[in-house]
Structure formats: C-alpha cells, structure tokens
C-alpha cells in the first residue's frame, strides 16, 4: 500500500500488524493528541488469493478452500459457494437438506456472534471473564457440530446437491436441550453485561453511524441493522429453508457500538428460535441428490448467490467455461464493506484512541474475509 | 432501576458460577470420546482397495498419492498429514468403502517426513495407550439443563 502523506499537525501510528484478539492486519491512524483524525486500513495485507485458488479446484474441491475465509462462520460462507455452484450446474436440492442447511447456518451464526460479543466485551478492558464464558458456551454448539458433521470447525458438510449426511439419531432432542441451556445463559449475559452501567458507558454514543451514512457507505449485516436499516437477505430473498421459517429482522436506531451489540444479541435469540422450529418441523425425505464427483459445467453460465452470513451479506459470483472447474469466482465479502465504513468513522464522529478497539470490534471484523 | 442496583446486579448473577464444575479437559491425563462421525486419521483396508485413485483425484489439498506396496499388486493411497485438512471427501468418494476415518488425532511428529503415512501404516491404527502412556480416563461432555459437565466413560 502506498501510504498517504502525513500532515504536519498530526502523528501517524501503525496499529498492528499483530492484533491481540483477532487476526493480523495493519491499520494506520493519524492522531492529534487523543483524537483520531484519520483511519487508513491496509486492505489486502493478508491477501491469500482464495478466488484464484478456487479457479484451480473442481466444483466440489472448492468447498474446502472457501471455508478458510471465515473460520468462525464456515457454514454460511460454504453455503454461499455451494448455492452458486448448484445454480451454475442446475442441481436440485431436496427439501430436508435445505432445512438441515438452515439449522447448521443458524448454529454457525450463534457461534460467530458469541465470539464477536466476547471480543467486544474483552476490548473494553473491564471484564476478561466474559470471553471465557462465551468460549465455553460455544463448546455446546461445537459438540453438536461434531455429532452432526464430524468436525468442530470447517465442516465441509454442504456439497452440491444437498448435505453429506442425515441428522444422527436423537439429534433433534439434543438441539432442543442446547437451545434451552443457551437461552438461560444468554439471560445471564444480558443481566450481567448488557445492562451493566460500566459496559454501557464504554459503548453508548461511541462510533455513531447514521442511517444515511450506513446506506451511502455500503455497510452490511449487524452494522447496517444497528443503524436502523431493515435489511436481511434471509427474509428479502429467502434461500435454504428461510422462506418457511418464522423469524424477525432485528434493527436498532442508535447506530453506536451498543446498538450493534444489541442487534447481535437479539439475533442470537432469533437464531435459537429458528433452531427450535427446525428441530420441531423438519420434513422427511432424502438429504442428497445424486451428483457426479466431477460435474462438468455448461459453457458461458453465470450464477450469483446471496447469503446472510454473521458479518453481513456475502455474494458469490461464478462464471463457467464448460470445464470441470469454474472459470472465475468473485467473492463480495461482508467485512470488506464494513472496513470501508470503519475507515470513515473518524470523519463522521469524534473518535478517541481509547475507543478505537471498541469501535473496531463492534463491526466484528475478520481480516481474512476482508482480504480474501 | 437505580444505578446502585444496576452495579450490584452483575455480581449477583455471577456468584452462583463460582460453584460450577470445571469446563476444561486435562488432556494427556483425560481424553474426550469423540462422536461416531468424527473425522480423524484414516484407516485403509488393503483388501478392499481397488486402486481406482478416486481419493487422490478428489483430494482438494493434493495430499494423496498412489504408491506400490511390497508383496501386493497395484498401488495404494499414501496420505501426507502435513497438508491433509481432514475434510473426508476421499472417504465419500471411495467406491468400495476401503477408506474410513477413525477418532485418532495424535499426529505430532519430529520430522515432516514422518507425517507422510504409507499404505501399510494407514492399514493399522495404534492403540491409544501406546501414544498417550499417561492417559488415565476417557470422558465425554454431558449437557444438563443447568450446566455442561464431563462424565467418565472409561477408567484405564
């Protein structure tokens, strides 16, 4: 990256590349005393060429590298790719497989939001125990993932034509038990953390993003909904089983760090409701249609899939040229869009150096997702 | 709610957790029992393998190579666990079910070359006691309505 010139009245600090809580990235900040005048995110610092890697893999092989984009939320990311492949190759998916996909996606969303919640609490500096709490509660979901998919992270469970296996015996009861346990825990989180005046003081009124700015800068996910824009791909353009499921899209008006946290928190509640609905109402039938191991595409087909991941809207755009591999895969990742918003926040609102970590983790960045 | 009440409330919520059972696994002494579908090290059945090479073709990480085995005809898969991501696509692709996955995850080695498992080595899975001599018990997580705890499945 070519660094913009430094004005004489400010001091430039390089924040990173080592970040204690998330991955590696480099962020430059121009400070005037304690006030941040400008934020420059070094987008592309951890570029790994995932789009290029996908061109060198067959359609089914591509599932494994694309999951490495966001390890906390692999299910939603993989679903975006798999749906695009299905559209490009014209593959039908059985109804039961769609419901299982939604179940795994919601579990992944809770997993990711818990991580984000833990980080945001941790970076305020007061409550180190809460990050351990969320880590332990994620364990409940990881055990469910292990029983269903065979892996705790990076499940590689969705394949074109359905999912790789049916629900194991007694799994629906286990989902219900986990939902009951997590509901009780989230009540404790709410009482101990969200209603905690110290935590509220640190988050309320910090990093305000107005509704107009959120739309103008192209924010997405909880950042957009935290600014009062009612938008969610799951409801607006239903995929998987979301058309049949009953859930609310959460919005908060304030647009500050606290609003974004509350959006995530209420989304977890909605996800738990969805998990319960799926456990109760999942239809029977096959979970997989027969697809060849190396499916061949038709030349000149274009497919686009939109998925609501935990961090926002993911778009996967596939072009085919009639071969065994995609000709080009373009990924529109959610964190990239939110990082642009983060860069502009110093212009929109008064930002202090001490508030910077809180603001950064309130947009829930995943730098590998941003740089792909 | 008054500010004082708000300040005291978190402590009241947290207090019962002091008595909660430990959430960590003391790994070399205890080891989790993984679920049936757990994707760990492969097991290769040499008699079932028909040398088709589909496992090598589908592997996204190019970890599988077919190599000859002494005293047998044809070539068998050799897996490099330095690059394998344990996705299990090879197991799905195998038309005869010769490749399966075990719950064995202890891969640590001193050299990278030791991570390349020959077909003969894949054919036998060592006993857990040989790899973890200090292992005392195997446990599994149990979720009750109130807490998550571990119960002992087997004392060794």
A128-146 tens-digit pLDDT: 777 888 888 888 889 899 9
- Chain B residues close to A197, C-beta within 8 Å: 3, 6-7
pLDDT at A110: 92
- Domain of residue B87 covers 23-155
Q: What is the pLDDT of residues A135-180, one digit of tens each?
A: 888 888 898 999 998 888 888 889 898 898 888 888 888 899 899 8
CB distance A197–B6 less than 8 Å? yes
**CB proximity under 8 Å: A 134-153 to B:** 136, 139-140, 143, 146-151
Q: Name the domain count of chain B.
A: 1
Tell me which fold the domain A46-333 belongs to: Cytochrome-c3 Hydrogenase; chain B (1.10.645)
Which of A140, A165, A174 lies at the smallest CB-CB distance from B37?
A165
The per-residue pLDDT for range B38-73, each reduced to its tens digit, is 988 899 998 888 989 899 999 999 899 999 988 888
In this structure, is residue B59 part of a structural domain?
A: yes
Q: Residues of chain B whose C-beta is under 8 A from some C-beta in A?
A: 3, 6-7, 9-10, 13-14, 23, 34-39, 54, 57-61, 85-89, 92-93, 101, 141, 143-146, 148
B8 inside domain: no
**A74 has pLDDT over 80:** yes
Are B60 and A62 an interchain contact pair (Cβ–Cβ within 8 Å)?
yes
- Per the prediction, chain A carries an average pLDDT of 87
A272, A280, B1 from A172: Cα distances, Å:
13, 8, 40
Direct distance between the N- and C-terminal alpha carbons of chain B, in angstroms, rounded to an integer: 55
Smallest Cβ–Cβ distance between A156 and the set B3, B36, B87 belongs to B87
Least confident window among A193-197, A228-232, B138-142: A193-197
Contact A64 B13 (CB under 8 A): no
DSSP string computed for A172-223 = HHHHHHHHHHHHHHHHHHIIIIIT-HHHHHHHTTSS---HHHHHHHT--THH
| Closest residue, chain B, to A132 (C-alpha) | B23
Write the pLDDT tens digit of every residue in A39-63.
Answer: 888 888 888 889 999 998 899 999 9
**Average of pLDDT values for B71-85?**
90
In this prediction, residue A81 has a pLDDT band, given cuts at 50, 70 and 90, of very high
Question: CA-nearest residue of chain B to A195?
Answer: B6
**Position B89 in a domain:** yes
State the pairing for strand pair B137-143/B30-32.
Answer: parallel
Confidence of residue A82 (pLDDT cuts 50, 70, 90): very high
Flag whether pLDDT at A3 surpasses 80: no
* Over residues A3-14, mean pLDDT: 82
DSSP state of A7: P
Distance CA A199, CA A201 (A): 5
Answer for the pair B76, B55: CB distance below 8 angstroms, yes or no. no
pLDDT for position A45: 85
* A57 in reach of chain B (CB within 8 A): yes
Nearest to B146 by CA among B46, B42, B20, B52: B20
Nearest CA in chain A to B11: A192
pLDDT at A357: 85
Say whether pLDDT at A19 is over 70: yes
Hey, what are A45's tokens? 């610092």
* CB-based contact A136 B23, cutoff 8 Å: yes
Q: Which residues of A fall within a CB distance of 8 Å from B143? A: 140, 143, 174, 177-178, 181
Percent of chain A with pLDDT over 90: 16
Strands, E assignment, chain B:
30-32, 42-44, 64-68, 75-80, 99-101, 116-117, 137-143, 148-155
B92 CB neighbours in chain A (<8 A) are 164
- Compute the nearest-CA separation of B70 from chain A (Å): 30
Cβ–Cβ contact A328 with B under 8 A: no
Interface test with A, best of B58, B89, B146 (most A CBs within 10 A): B89
Most B CBs within 10 A among A56, A57, A60, A61, hence the mutation to make, goes to A61
CA atoms of A334 and A225, how far apart (whole Å): 13
CA B85 to chain centre: 11
Least Cα separation, residue B126 to chain A (angstroms): 21
Counted across chains A and B, CB pairs separated by less than 8 A come out at 94
CB of A65 within 8 Å of any CB in chain B?
A: yes
Q: Is the pLDDT of residue B1 over 70?
A: no
Residue A4 pLDDT > 80 = no
The angle subtended at Cα A204 by Cα A202 and Cα A206, nearest 5°, is 80
Per residue in B98-126, pLDDT (tens digit) is: 999 988 888 888 999 999 999 988 888 88
Is the complex ipTM higher than 0.90?
no
CATH number for the domain including B136? 3.30.70.3270
The mean per-residue pLDDT over the stretch B134-138 comes to: 87
| pLDDT for the residue B78 | 92
Residue B14 lies in a domain: no
**Closest partner residue to B6 among A129, A151, A195, by Cβ?**
A195
Contacts of A164 in chain B (CB under 8 A): 88, 92
Name the residue ranges covered by the structural domains of chain A: 46-333
Question: Is residue A21 over pLDDT 80?
Answer: no
Q: Is the pLDDT of residue A245 over 80?
A: yes
**Per-residue pLDDT for A303 more than 70?**
yes
Tell me which residue in B59, B101, B148 faces A139 most closely, judged by beta carbons.
B148
Which token pair is A353?
Answer: 């150096």
Interface touch B35/A196, C-beta < 8 Å: no
């Amino acid at each position: 990256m070519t660094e913009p010139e430094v004005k004489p009245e400010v001091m430039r600090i390089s924040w990173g590349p080592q970040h204690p809580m998330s991955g590696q990235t480099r962020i430059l900040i121009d400070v005037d005393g304690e006030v941040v005048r400008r934020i420059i995110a070094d987008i592309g610092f951890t570029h790994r060429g995932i789009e290029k890697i996908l061109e060198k893999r067959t359609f089914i092989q591509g599932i494994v590298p694309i999951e490495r984009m966001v390890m906390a939320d692999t299910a939603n990311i993989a679903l975006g790719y798999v749906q695009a492949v299905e559209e490009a190759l014209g593959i039908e998916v059985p109804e039961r497989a769609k419901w299982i996909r939604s179940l795994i996606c919601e579990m992944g969303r809770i997993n990711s939001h818990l991580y984000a919640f833990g980080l945001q609490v941790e970076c305020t500096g007061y409550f180190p125990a809460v990050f351990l709490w969320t880590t332990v509660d994620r364990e409940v979901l990881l055990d469910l993932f292990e029983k269903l998919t065979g892996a705790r992270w990076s499940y590689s469970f969705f394949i074109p034509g359905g999912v790789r296996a049916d629900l194991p015996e007694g799994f629906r009861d286990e989902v219900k038990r986990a939902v009951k346990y997590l509901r009780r825990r989230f009540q404790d989180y709410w009482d101990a953390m969200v209603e905690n005046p110290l935590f509220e003081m640190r988050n309320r009124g910090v990093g305000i993003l107005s509704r107009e700015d959120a739309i103008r800068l192209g924010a997405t996910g909880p950042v957009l909904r935290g600014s009062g824009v009612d938008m969610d791909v799951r409801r607006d353009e239903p995929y998987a089983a979301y058309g049949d499921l009953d859930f609310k899209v959460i919005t908060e008006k304030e647009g500050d760090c606290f609003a974004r946290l509350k959006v995530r928190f209420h989304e977890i509640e909605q996800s738990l409701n969805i998990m319960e609905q799926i456990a109760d109402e999942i239809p029977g039938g096959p979970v997989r249609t027969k697809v060849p191991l190396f499916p061949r595409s038709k030349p000149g087909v274009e497919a686009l899939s939109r998925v609501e991941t935990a961090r926002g809207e993911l778009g996967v755009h596939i072009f085919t040229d009639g071969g065994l591999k995609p000709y080009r895969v373009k990924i529109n990742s959610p964190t990239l869009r939110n990082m642009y918003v983060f860069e502009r926040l110093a212009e929109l609102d008064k930002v202090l150096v001490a508030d910077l970590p809180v603001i950064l983790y309130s947009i829930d960045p995943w730098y590998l997702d941003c740089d792909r | 709610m008054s500010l004082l009440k708000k300040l005291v409330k978190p402590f009241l919520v947290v207090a019962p957790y002091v008595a909660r059972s430990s959430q960590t696994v003391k790994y070399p002494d205890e080891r989790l029992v993984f679920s049936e579908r757990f994707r760990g090290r492969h097991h290769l059945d040499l008699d079932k393998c028909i040398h088709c090479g589909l496992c090598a073709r589908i592997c996204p990480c190019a970890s599988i190579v077919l190599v000859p085995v002494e005293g047998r005809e044809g070539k068998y898969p050799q897996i490099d666990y330095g690059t394998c991501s344990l996705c299990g696509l090879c197991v799905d692709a195998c038309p005869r079910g010769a490749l399966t996955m075990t719950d064995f995850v202890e891969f640590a080695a001193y050299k990278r070359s030791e991570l390349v498992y020959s077909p003969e080595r894949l054919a036998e899975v060592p006993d857990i006691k040989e790899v973890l001599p200090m292992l005392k018990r195997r446990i599994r997580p149990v979720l009750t309505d109130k807490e998550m705890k571990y119960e002992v499945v087997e004392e060794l």
